[in-house]
Amino acid sequence: MTTANPTVTLRATVPVRADGRVGQFSQFSGLYARELLKTFRNPWVIVITLVQPFMWLAFFGGMLSQVSSAQLDEFLLHAPAGTSYLSFLLPGVLSTGMMSIGMFGAMSTIQDKRFGFMKRILITPTSKATVYLTKALGSATRGLVQIPVMIAAATAFGVTLHGSPLAWAAWILGLVLLGLGFSALFLAITSSSTDWQTPGVISNFITMPLMFASGAMFPASIYPPWMRAIADVNPVGFSAQLSRSVLTYGQFTGTDLTYLGYLGLFALVMILAGTALASRYLKVE
């Protein structure tokens, strides 16, 4: 043998047999770690995740920054004096941002299918449910990156943030649940797809309407009834309300707890339904 090192014994010297295997969490942690490694090693992924919400603050916030505070107060806020539109907008932007990250999870899944990596995974004793769950958790985790950056950016824009540590914990939990729910939803819808375009199309059908009919940019009280009907069941709106309560107004009420519960339910239902769908329909290639 010209290439092999003859001193290396190839026979099984390490006792790794089928019966000596560790639990299924091994597959889960491995795939989840892969998602994180691939995300955080790719600078562009980070840039895209961060720039989008930042643009919202800069341009959308900038657009309305010259409107007089009296007009704004009447139209939008009914908030404590000194509250700027930016501090109204920030919670909404973070919530819409958590919704759109689901699209990246769907795209990375399609990439794995197209480059064959899904075959490499599924030819091992790994279940489709595990693949699905790690993708959903991976993209939700990635969405969290924007939180500290947005907080820093908002502070730099002169926004004062309120809220106790406990209220912040509730707010961030809400964002995680929202991100999980939408990642689960996007991944479930695209689980049988291998087309690069699908996540973008689906995303436009879901993200755009839910973003505008959420109260994330403007208060839902100014909406026409049909949009308000959407806002009433829109998880993005619930998260925006919860975030605004904590960050802008510095409170955490019983209503906010209900919002949090609703977000938990949303995430749970999406994950359960998505796992069932993906176990059946997740395509290998």
Partner 1 sequence: MSANGWAIHAQGLTKRYGSLVAVDHVDLEVPAGSVFGLLGPNGAGKTTIIKVLTGLSDITEGTAHVAGYDVRRDPMHVKQRVGWVAAEVILDDDLSGWENLWLQAKLERLSDWKGRAEQLLAYFELTDRRKDKVGTYSTGMRKKMEIALALLHQPEVIFMDEPTIGLDANVRRMLWELITGVNKQFGVTVLLTSHYIEEADVLCDRVAIIDHGRFVATGTPSELKGRVKADFVEIETSEALDPARLRAIAGVTDVRSQGNAWILRVGSAEEALPRLFHALQTDRIRRINVEKPSLESVFIDITGKRIEQAGSDVQDYRKFYLNVRRARR
Here the tokens at position 184 are 């689960």
CB of 130 to partner 1, least distance (A): 9
Three-state helix/strand/coil letters over 233-268:
HCHHHHHHHHHHHHHCCCCCCHHHHHHHHHHHHHHH
* The binder of partner 1 chosen from 62, 71, 78, 125 (CB under 8 A): 125
* The binder of partner 1 chosen from 80, 116, 148, 261 (CB under 8 A): 116
**Smaller CB separation from partner 1, 39 or 243:** 39
Is residue 162 at the binding interface for partner 1, with CB under 8 A as the rule? Answer: no
Of the candidates 142, 43, 47, 143, the one whose C-alpha atom is nearest the C-alpha of residue 93 is 143
Do residues 169 and 254 touch, judged by C-beta distance below 8 A? no
Is residue 22 at the binding interface for partner 1, with CB under 8 A as the rule? Answer: yes
* The binder of partner 1 chosen from 63, 69, 79, 120 (CB under 8 A): 120
Phi and psi at residue 18, to the nearest 5°: -55, -35
Name the residue type at position 281: Y
Is residue 41 at the binding interface for partner 1, with CB under 8 A as the rule? Answer: yes
CB of 23 to partner 1, least distance (A): 7
**Smaller CB separation from partner 1, 7 or 66:** 7
Is residue 44 at the binding interface for partner 1, with CB under 8 A as the rule? Answer: no
Do residues 180 and 137 touch, judged by C-beta distance below 8 A? yes
Of the candidates 170, 178, 188, the one whose C-alpha atom is nearest the C-alpha of residue 265 is 178
* The binder of partner 1 chosen from 51, 63, 80, 119 (CB under 8 A): 119
Is residue 13 at the binding interface for partner 1, with CB under 8 A as the rule? Answer: yes
Is residue 284 at the binding interface for partner 1, with CB under 8 A as the rule? Answer: yes
Here the tokens at position 103 are 């699209």
DSSP per residue, 26-74: HHHHHHHHHHHHHHHH-HHHHHHHHHHHHHIIIIIIHHTTTS-HHHHII
Is residue 34 at the binding interface for partner 1, with CB under 8 A as the rule? Answer: yes
Q: Which residues bind partner 1 (CB under 8 A)?
A: 1-5, 8-18, 20-24, 26-27, 29-31, 33-34, 37-38, 41-42, 115-117, 119-126, 284
